[in-house]
Amino acid sequence: MTYDYDLLVIGAGSGGLAASKRAASYGAKVAIAENDLVGGTCVIRGCIPKKLMVYASKFSHLFEDAVGYGWSKGENRLNWQHLITAVDKEVHRLNQLHIGLLEKAGVELIQSRATILDPHTVEVGGRKVTADKILIAVGGEAVKPNLPGMEYALTSREMFLLKEQPKHIVVVGSGYIAVEFSGIMHGLGSQVTLMLRGETMLRGFDDDIRSSIQDGMSKSGIKIIGNTLIKNLERVAEGLKLTFSEQGKETNSTITADAVLVAIGRAPNLGKLGLENTGVEIVSCGDDTLPALHGYTVNCAIGVDDESRTSVPNIFAVGDCTNRINLTPVAIGEGRAFADTEFGNNPRKFSHENVASAIFSQPEAATVGMSEAEARQKLGDAVQIYRSRFRPLFHSLTDGSDKVMMKLVVDKNTDRVLGAHMVGEYAAEIIQGVAIAVNMGATKKDFDATVGIHPSAAEEFVTMR
């Protein structure tokens, strides 16, 4: 049978862009459908604009620290409108850049919503097109709890488009998005209250990372309230009033702020995709406490095998919509592995082992490999921990109380380094290099035999005893 395209990709985010360009490089006829800006969550409302705001938020700390080095403290004032406009301008520049890269690669861009009609037919841009293979790369979307007044709450999508800076913002959530935006808004000068459902933040990360970040945020002036359960949100004369209960208290509490950011999680963006027309298997995301999204009655992801193939042989899926590891480089890696396998005569599988990640919190953190808890669950007493906490040299002349935490998780039987974790300035940059060693199977002796760069924080990874 003859098809209009060898490959039709739905979603022009990181995974879809990588797969479409790689497949086209092998001579495949490829089209990609997108009803939003090209670039996906990372470029439009995630990694890139968020990191730009992280940079902006750090200047307030630098102005304070500079006094310890002899600089006079001047009047510092943020022009919120300038920042938001500059970030939005960069997002649109990247959108145009990715459109140009698709054109250069020979990929047809269809700027419209796509709905799958059957395993080989898609309705897009007012027409029906056919494809030998379909790749779903629609990513995820922020969710809100199904509670009264949530229409007044912001999600991460709207944070980059606020016309005015809130004087006081309440952030609801304990994951990396909530933690990162709390640090951003605090650094930009807003009063920040972070509300956690449990006692601590960042479930799933190493406990030393969790406690170090939470302690650092508290000392910086961010108010953290743990063990809370949100009840409702309402607009009042003073702003937005959030009602919540606290564990151990019989009566509800309230807090009023200019803005409320709900960052309780994300779910695969599967609404209006037409999966019910295909027989593609849907699996649980693993957290049924979150609300439905886009018409789906439960949180769900597209089930795939280790080659990103769904239960329908010619339909594939990569990235956040599969809810494996929801990181931009992972989506890119999955997309390229798919294209190499299906169109490049180079069968391969993307490895989800030892994927490094970072939290651009303040203090910053990064990690690769096993946490201490994961290692002990697997190896028991055969785990050896090396840990160091210290005040960085930079703060020798400032009033800053920031501390660096570094940690290695080692298998005593083999001496292999199973995990590396860090909280502190430039943690992401440092762990990226350490991740190479961990993935190569480096031992603690290999770390010990490496000469450190002095004076640097990074040298602690090769001097810990």
Q: Judge residue 221's burial from the number of C-beta atoms within 10 Å of its C-beta, 0-12 exposed, 13-18 middle, 19 or more buried.
A: exposed
Using DSSP's 3-state secondary structure scheme, residue 297 falls into coil
Catalytic (active-site) positions: 454
Whether 37 and 160 share a structural domain: no
Whether 17 and 128 share a structural domain: yes
At residue 286, the pLDDT reads 55
Domain housing 51: 5-141+267-343
Sign of the torsion formed by the C-alpha atoms of 284, 290, 294 and 298: positive
Give domain status of residue 200, yes or no. yes
Distance, in Å, from the CA atom of 423 to the CA atom of 369, rounded to the nearest integer, reads: 15
- Take residue 189 and report the two structure tokens written for it: 């000068």
Give domain status of residue 348, yes or no. no
| Count of other CB atoms within 10 angstroms of residue 226 | 16
Q: What share of the chain is helix, strand, coil (3-state, %, to 5)?
A: 35, 25, 40
Whether 9 and 135 share a structural domain: yes
Q: Say how far residue 141 (Cα) sits from the centre of its chain.
A: 12
Nearest Cα residue to 368 out of 434, 443, 416, 423: 434
Yes or no: say if 32 and 108 are a contact pair by the CB < 8 Å rule.
yes
Whether 58 and 30 share a structural domain: yes
- Take residue 77 and report the two structure tokens written for it: 């004032």
Q: Strands 127-136 and 121-124, how do they pair?
A: antiparallel
Identify the domain boundary among 212, 238, 263.
Answer: 263
CATH number at residue 377: 3.30.390.30
Give domain status of residue 88, yes or no. yes
Q: What is the pTM of this model?
A: 0.95
Distance, in Å, from the CA atom of 135 to the CA atom of 339, rounded to the nearest integer, reads: 10
**Which residue's structure tokens are 């307030």?**
60
At residue 295, the pLDDT reads 36
Whether 13 and 133 share a structural domain: yes
pLDDT tens series, the chain, 465 aa: 899 999 999 999 999 999 999 999 999 999 999 999 999 999 999 999 999 999 999 999 999 999 999 999 888 899 999 999 999 999 999 999 999 999 999 999 999 999 999 999 999 989 999 999 999 999 999 989 989 999 999 999 999 999 999 999 999 999 999 999 999 999 999 999 999 999 999 999 999 999 999 999 999 999 999 999 999 999 999 999 999 999 989 999 999 999 999 999 888 999 889 999 999 999 876 554 444 433 333 358 999 999 999 999 999 999 999 999 999 999 999 999 999 999 999 999 999 999 999 999 999 999 999 999 999 999 999 999 999 999 999 999 998 889 999 999 999 999 999 999 999 999 999 999 999 999 999 999 999 999 999 999 999 999 999
Yes or no: say if 145 and 264 are a contact pair by the CB < 8 Å rule.
yes
Give Cα separations from 112 to 40, 309, 383, 444 (angstroms).
14, 24, 52, 52
Whether 279 and 190 share a structural domain: no
393 contact partners, CB below 8 Å, separation of at least 6:
455, 457
End-to-end distance of the chain based on CA atoms, in angstroms?
A: 65
Give domain status of residue 252, yes or no. yes
CATH number at residue 227: 3.50.50.60
> Around 294, how many Cα atoms within 13 Å sit in the side-chain half-sphere?
17
Give domain status of residue 356, yes or no. no
Identify the domain boundary among 263, 287, 314.
Answer: 263
Whether 194 and 320 share a structural domain: no
Give domain status of residue 92, yes or no. yes
Yes or no: say if 116 and 271 are a contact pair by the CB < 8 Å rule.
no
| Count of other CB atoms within 10 angstroms of residue 421 | 27
For 366, the enclosing helix (H) or strand (E) is strand 365-369
Give domain status of residue 353, yes or no. no
Distance, in Å, from the CA atom of 170 to the CA atom of 195, rounded to the nearest integer, reads: 7
| Count of other CB atoms within 10 angstroms of residue 292 | 14
Q: Say how far residue 157 (Cα) sits from the centre of its chain.
A: 13
Identify the domain boundary among 213, 231, 263.
Answer: 263
Give domain status of residue 53, yes or no. yes
Distance, in Å, from the CA atom of 154 to the CA atom of 165, rounded to the nearest integer, reads: 13
Whether 219 and 179 share a structural domain: yes
Amino acid at 230: I
At residue 349, the pLDDT reads 97
Nearest Cα residue to 163 out of 85, 59, 236: 85
DSSP-derived letter for residue 173 is -
Give Cα separations from 212 to 93, 161, 401 (angstroms).
37, 31, 12
Whether 122 and 11 share a structural domain: yes
Distance, in Å, from the CA atom of 304 to the CA atom of 194, rounded to the nearest integer, reads: 36
Distance, in Å, from the CA atom of 20 to the CA atom of 10, rounded to the nearest integer, reads: 10
Domains in the chain: how many in total?
Answer: 3
Whether 171 and 225 share a structural domain: yes
Whether 249 and 275 share a structural domain: no
Whether 222 and 112 share a structural domain: no
**Which residue's structure tokens are 């009602």?**
243
